[in-house]
Amino acid sequence: MIKTDVVIIDSGVSSNLKNSDIQGTSLFFSNGKMESNEDLTDNYGHGTAIYNIIRKYSPVSKIYNIKLFDNNECIDETNLIYALKYIQKNVSCKLINLSLGLKLCNKIEALKSVCSELVLSGIILVSAFDNDGCYSFPAAFDNVIGVDSNYECKNAFDFEIVEGNAINVRAKGGLQRVTWNDGKNIVLGGSSFACAYVSSYIANLLQGKSLTFDEIIENIKKNTKVTYHKNEYIKKCANNYFEINRAAISDRRQTQHRDF
């Protein structure tokens, strides 16, 4: 059994990073079945950015990377379920970072089941919501910490709590400089980066202890200046709807990347 603190499921990690502690496995579909190898090469760049955020803001955490997709943004629900089951069988961890999600999921009960099993075993799941403002999974599950981006959060551990809503935490997701492939820094924004900041914070909380979903939310709530109740949050989003969407469209055209 592999022992670690944080598991990142993403697109791998750039081979140009000068970190000797990069560990993980690549899961891929071949000849009608899932197989694995140790090639974590990130041909996209997203996983590298997520890894660097968590490594920077939770430097004491041991990180295990699972490469699940390559140079595209599509997440297959069957592969995601398989990756979570792979962790169940092979990895002992405290937290799983999922800076990704499914807007459409035909196997939602199977996904929900494996997430519930992981949570019951004491693992915290943190997942990003879709940038287009719609529900996505597993972020929308009650036992998963669902993260949305907020351009008003400027620092790594600036958070907003939303009570009584599928979204639990809002974090730094505005335009920011992130490390992409080949060590290049690009300007990009999105909920996937907000998710990484929340995971970093929680990973620090979990050093030497175990905490439940509710205990983590309460800790974040005590250390944030802004808490919204569901109706307040919906009203705020409605007031800023057109402004936010115009900014998001502009961001994607500037960066020529679509975050998810």
Q: pLDDT for 41-70, tens place per residue? A: 999 999 999 999 999 999 999 999 999 998
Report yes or no on 19 lying in a domain: yes
- Domain boundaries, position 10: 2-255
- Is pLDDT above 90 for 31? no
User: What is the domain count for the chain?
Assistant: 1
Q: Is the dihedral of CA 115, 54, 100, 128 positive or negative?
A: positive
| Whole-number pLDDT of residue 3 | 97
Report yes or no on 81 lying in a domain: yes
Distance CA 51, CA 195 (A): 12
- Is pLDDT above 70 for 194? yes
| Whole-number pLDDT of residue 74 | 73
Report yes or no on 26 lying in a domain: yes
Distance CA 80, CA 100 (A): 10
Distance CA 98, CA 243 (A): 27
| Whole-number pLDDT of residue 256 | 33
Report yes or no on 251 lying in a domain: yes
Angle between helices 230-239 and 241-255 (to 10 degrees): 70
- Is pLDDT above 60 for 213? yes
Report yes or no on 101 lying in a domain: yes
Q: Is the dihedral of CA 207, 212, 215, 216 positive or negative?
A: positive
Distance CA 158, CA 172 (A): 7
The CATH number given to whatever domain includes residue 108 is: 3.40.50.200
Report yes or no on 67 lying in a domain: yes
222 contact partners, CB below 8 Å, separation of at least 6: none
Confidence of residue 246 (pLDDT cuts 50, 70, 90): very low
Confidence of residue 86 (pLDDT cuts 50, 70, 90): very high
Share of the chain above pLDDT 70, in %: 85
Rounded to the nearest integer, the mean pLDDT of the chain is 86
What are the backbone dihedrals phi and psi of residue 65, each rounded to the nearest 5 degrees, phi first?
Answer: -100, 135
Report yes or no on 260 lying in a domain: no
Confidence of residue 135 (pLDDT cuts 50, 70, 90): confident
Q: Is the dihedral of CA 26, 4, 178, 80 positive or negative?
A: positive
Distance CA 143, CA 117 (A): 10
Q: pLDDT for 222-239, tens place per residue? A: 988 777 765 554 445 544
Report yes or no on 230 lying in a domain: yes
Distance CA 100, CA 23 (A): 20
Confidence of residue 249 (pLDDT cuts 50, 70, 90): very low
Distance CA 160, CA 226 (A): 5
Distances (CA, A) of 27 to 42, 94, 109, 227: 13, 21, 22, 39
| Whole-number pLDDT of residue 164 | 82
Q: Between 142 and 76, where is the model more confident?
A: 142
Confidence of residue 199 (pLDDT cuts 50, 70, 90): very high
- 113-122: list long-range contacts, CB under 8 Å, 24+ apart: 114/81, 114/84, 114/85, 114/88, 115/84, 115/141, 115/143, 115/144, 116/141, 116/143, 117/88, 118/84, 118/87, 118/88, 119/143, 119/144, 119/213, 121/88, 122/94, 122/210
